[in-house]
Structure 1
Amino acid sequence: MKLYVFNPDTDMALANNEENYIAPASARRMAQDLALLPIWYAQPGSAVLAPSAYNADYLQIMKRMFPLSVQLVTEPELPDYAESQIIPWGWNLAFRKRMLKGGIAKHKLPTLEELKRLRAFSSRELAMVVLDGLHGIENCCGLANYLNDIPACQEFVEKYKRTVLKAPWSSSGKGLNWCRGIFTDSIAGWCQHVLDEQEGVIGQPVYNKIEDFALEFYSDGRGRVLFTGYSLFLTNEKGAYLGNLLVTPEWVENWITEYVPLVTLVQVRERLQELLTVVFGESYTGYLGVDMMICRDEETQSYRIHPCVEINVRMNMGVAAHLFRENFVAPGTVGNFNIDYYPTNDALQEEHKQAMEQYPVVIENGRLVSGYLPLVPVTPKSRYRAYVLCYKSRVNDTND
């Protein structure tokens, strides 16, 4: 049996790289509140690890509405599933220890050497190498340098008007330092800390970003990396994930052609698939996403694709949104897939109640036609919410 686990702190755990790592309270809260999210992308006949309180009742309700064939497993039940194939949001040393301690058989878990290789795959340094392999494609931009000492960091910051320095490992929107051409003492201190902890800093010029999007892939571990789909997503001013658009691949391609020729996207996708196959084809099994940007050249005002901003070597919200749309959204329906945080449960409960009343859910033949659907239960302790809000498209989409 496949057992899915939502552990959103995996990037932070990779940065820490210790098996006794303990996630911040906010990440633990998110993991608990959204524990049931994998039911929407888990394969039929599998299970999801989550507390039984609230989640069991919610799952039964969803099973009556959608063709879901998954079951709930709680942490104390793990020894009964010792031989299960564990499919987490992402692997790291601390999660491996948690599963081993919980009762999962050692031979069902990655070895320490395999996790060391996976951590190297997850470094922003690899994204920099892949970006180099995409150079030469027309209508593309993108530059990244690996900086291994303070003088190199200073030279890079002072060379450009605006730059962003990145720690090789960090979570969404974290580990970034935005600079404006002056290498201050504060920036120097940040760089020294990252150099001490992670041995390098990634430097990139800041581009005039218009839109975020991603290409999602699946590596089968037997030599093939397959294109899964597109992801149009939103971030806040710090780069943290907010949500995805639920639209067809044809819609995305039409959207791209408003900025650059479709042939550019196709060339990026095909070249990227070749590069990822070389890197991951026989060394990694699972999803991976390559974050990109549409940028505007400040001199010519023309548009470019930055084809490799980040590589997420794990499950990600773009894939989750894509699979939800494919499996549970009615043809001709579009919408949003969102993750929200609220400082208090009362604020979340009020927003949830209003959405339920204002956007009543409509489901036909096991697919969402319109309305508001929470993807996890909203409990008296919740601070995080995952939901979709859908409506019938005004455009007759014959390609869906």
Structure 2
Amino acid sequence: MKLYVFNPDADMALGNNEENYMAPATIRRMAEDLALLPIWYARPGSGVLAPSAYNADYLKQMQQLFRLDVQLVTEPELPDYADMQVMPWGWNPAIRKRMLKGGVAESLLPSAADLSRYRRLASRANVRLLYACGGEAGNMSYLCGGEGVLVTADDFANKGREAVQELLLRWQDCGCICKSLWSGSGKGLCWYRQEEMEKVIDWCCRALRTDGAFWLEPIYNKVEDFAMEFYADGKGGVRFVGYSRFVTDGKGAYRGNLLATDMQVEEWIQTYVPLEAFHRLRESVRKGLAALGTDYTGFLGVDMMVCRQEKGHPYAVNPCVEVNLRMNMGIVAHTFCDRFVAPGGEGFFSIEYFPAQEALQEQHARDMLEHPLRVEQGRVVSGYLPLIPVTPRSRYRAFVRVG
């Protein structure tokens, strides 16, 4: 049996690297509102850590509609589940301390040394390793990217803001994105365009002080986002899990996933690149991930982009925008589509934030009325389904809309 925990502050807590880290209020709200989300991807017979209020009734309703063999576990009940393997959204010192304090056996938790190695692997600095490890895909047509660089504090020792400005000016023709080493879902990004120089210099200097480095890459002519999802067994084995097509806003922040089968994604990608080349890329990335080492067990995703090119083939794939060394929404959407969407069905999975509870309640009621849910034999045929209970206190919702 496994115990699943949704801790959406995983990347920020990993960057902070302190066991007493406290996430911003909006992220704590997200963790509470979406605590039950793992019921849709948890292994049968597992537990999901969440408050019982609201969640217990919602879980019973979902168990009547779908084949959900999961149970609710509350924080006071943790000592009764001390021997279960903990499956958080992502590991960091703060979630380790929380589980240890709750009564989980220390032998089942990663050690401080384990977390230190994991933190190094999860850094964006490892993006460049996938390009180097690509092997057969390294010389493959239909690829772009690889121009990113790791900028370290040693590069700017005793040089000040002028040196950072000089670096940015080298990228002013195409523009660039500065990325903190530990962040995800479109967070921790700073976009440089000519009119924003001072703001970006401030961001870079702060990143060099706090993390000692940041990742810098050009702004590509992106057409669409997608990802390849994998599972690492901790022994050097990495297997392909599936594809993920997702949507971001103008600043790269995650907005949602298309509910699509792997076959549908492969049909889609062929409008841009040949399928045989795409399969070669997938195998190359899998081998590259395996070459990173054996210090991680769990799901991971590699975000990619289809980009438009001015020369050669009109489209190319940037094979490694970033690696998410943790559970991610793409895997949630992929798993939900496989387990709970009727064959041939298509739809959208999304996480939304509402500044006012009343606005969320109104949108939830409107979606239930305009998109009535239809479930047959434990699979969604059409309609709107909230994946967590929407309560009077909720600010976040996770949902799918099918049909």
TM-score by length of 1: 0.94
The residue that corresponds to 2:21 in the other structure is: 21
1:82 Cα offset (Å): 1.0
Aligned-partner SS, 2:113: helix
The residue that corresponds to 1:76 in the other structure is: 76
Task: Tell me, in whole angstroms, the C-alpha distance in 2 between the residues paired with 1:131 and 1:197.
Answer: 27
1:187 counterpart letter in structure 2: V
1:75-114 equivalences under 5 Å are 75-114=75-114
Q: 1:141 aligned to 141, 144, 149, which one? A: 144
Task: Tell me, in whole angstroms, the C-alpha distance in 2 between the residues paired with 1:328 and 1:186.
Answer: 45
1:112 Cα offset (Å): 0.4
1:140-179 equivalences under 5 Å are 140-142=143-145, 143-148=147-152, 149-150=155-156, 153-160=164-171, 161=173, 162-179=175-192
Aligned-partner SS, 1:288: strand
Task: Tell me, in whole angstroms, the C-alpha distance in 2 between the residues paired with 1:242 and 1:182.
Answer: 26
The residue that corresponds to 2:380 in the other structure is: 368
Q: 2:207 aligned to 184, 194, 201, which one? A: 194
Task: Tell me, in whole angstroms, the C-alpha distance in 1 between the residues paired with 2:129 and 2:59.
Answer: 43
Q: For the Cα contact (< 8 Å) 1:66–1:367, is it kept in 2?
A: yes
- 2:62 counterpart of 1:62: yes
The residue that corresponds to 2:342 in the other structure is: 330
- 2:285 counterpart of 1:272: yes
Deviation readout 1:247-281 (Å, 9 max, x if unpaired) = 1111111111111111221111010011111214x
1:110 counterpart letter in structure 2: P
The residue that corresponds to 1:260 in the other structure is: 273
Q: For the Cα contact (< 8 Å) 2:133–2:291, is it kept in 1?
A: no
Task: Tell me, in whole angstroms, the C-alpha distance in 2 between the residues paired with 1:155 and 1:294.
Answer: 30
Q: For the Cα contact (< 8 Å) 1:157–1:182, is it kept in 2?
A: no
1:158 Cα offset (Å): 2.0
1:273-288 equivalences under 5 Å are 273-280=286-293, 282-288=294-300
Aligned-partner SS, 1:360: coil
Task: Tell me, in whole angstroms, the C-alpha distance in 2 between the residues paired with 1:378 and 1:6.
Answer: 17
- 2:332 counterpart of 1:320: yes
Task: Tell me, in whole angstroms, the C-alpha distance in 1 between the residues paired with 2:371 and 2:169.
Answer: 51
1:157 Cα offset (Å): 2.2
The residue that corresponds to 1:130 in the other structure is: 130
Deviation readout 1:321-343 (Å, 9 max, x if unpaired) = 11111111110111111111111
Task: Tell me, in whole angstroms, the C-alpha distance in 1 between the residues paired with 2:280 and 2:308.
Answer: 19
Task: Tell me, in whole angstroms, the C-alpha distance in 2 between the residues paired with 1:239 and 1:9.
Answer: 18
Task: Tell me, in whole angstroms, the C-alpha distance in 2 between the residues paired with 1:238 and 1:189.
Answer: 18
The residue that corresponds to 2:314 in the other structure is: 302
Task: Tell me, in whole angstroms, the C-alpha distance in 2 between the residues paired with 1:219 and 1:352.
Answer: 37
The residue that corresponds to 2:367 in the other structure is: 355
Q: 1:343 aligned to 355, 359, 366, which one? A: 355
1:205-216 equivalences under 5 Å are 205-216=218-229
Aligned residues: 390
The residue that corresponds to 2:237 in the other structure is: 224
Task: Tell me, in whole angstroms, the C-alpha distance in 2 between the residues paired with 1:9 and 1:137.
Answer: 37
1:183 Cα offset (Å): 8.6
The residue that corresponds to 1:394 in the other structure is: none
Distance 1:189 1:34, change over 3 A: same
Task: Tell me, in whole angstroms, the C-alpha distance in 2 between the residues paired with 1:366 and 1:77.
Answer: 30
Aligned-partner SS, 2:318: strand
1:223 Cα offset (Å): 2.4
Task: Tell me, in whole angstroms, the C-alpha distance in 1 between the residues paired with 2:24 and 2:335.
Answer: 29
Aligned-partner SS, 2:302: strand
Q: Structure 2 stretches of 5 or more lacking a match?
A: none
- 2:263 counterpart of 1:250: yes
Give runs of ≥4 in structure 1 deviating > 6 Å: none
TM-score by length of 2: 0.94
Task: Tell me, in whole angstroms, the C-alpha distance in 2 between the residues paired with 1:325 and 1:179.
Answer: 37
Q: For the Cα contact (< 8 Å) 2:238–2:286, is it kept in 1?
A: yes
- 2:193 counterpart of 1:180: yes
Task: Tell me, in whole angstroms, the C-alpha distance in 2 between the residues paired with 1:304 and 1:155.
Answer: 30
